[in-house]
Amino acid sequence: MATNAKERGGKRQKRDAILSAAWGLIRHYGYNKTTIDDIAKKAGVGKGTVYLYFASKTEIMLALTDLTNERITQKLESIASDDKPPQERIRECVLYRVMTLFDLVHRYPHSEDVIASILPEIVERLDRYVRRHGQLLADIIRKACSDGIFKVKDPDATGQLLANLFEFMTPPYYRFKTRRSLEEFANRVVDLVLGGIMK
Q: Cα-flanking dihedrals φ and ψ of residue 102, to 5°?
A: -60, -45
Question: At residue 16, does pLDDT exceed 70?
Answer: yes
The pLDDT confidence band at residue 95, using thresholds 50, 70 and 90, is very high
Question: At residue 3, does pLDDT exceed 60?
Answer: no
At residue 39, the pLDDT reads 97
At residue 117, the pLDDT reads 67
CATH class, 1-54 region: mainly alpha
End-to-end Cα separation, the chain, in angstroms? 58
At residue 6, the pLDDT reads 59
**Contact assessment for residue 102 and residue 176, using Cβ atoms and an 8 Å cutoff:** yes
| Calpha distance 39→157 (Å, rounded) | 42
Q: What is the largest CA-CA distance in the chain?
A: 61
Other CB atoms within 10 Å distance of the CB of residue 135: 14
| Calpha distance 193→151 (Å, rounded) | 12
The residues spanned by each domain of the chain are 1-54, 57-197
CA distances from 14 to 4, 53, 132 (A): 15, 9, 29
At residue 11, the pLDDT reads 84
pTM: 0.85
Superfamily of domain 57-197: Tetracycline Repressor, domain 2 (1.10.357.10)
The pLDDT confidence band at residue 176, using thresholds 50, 70 and 90, is confident
Three-state secondary structure of 135-154: HHHHHHHHHHHHCCCECCCC
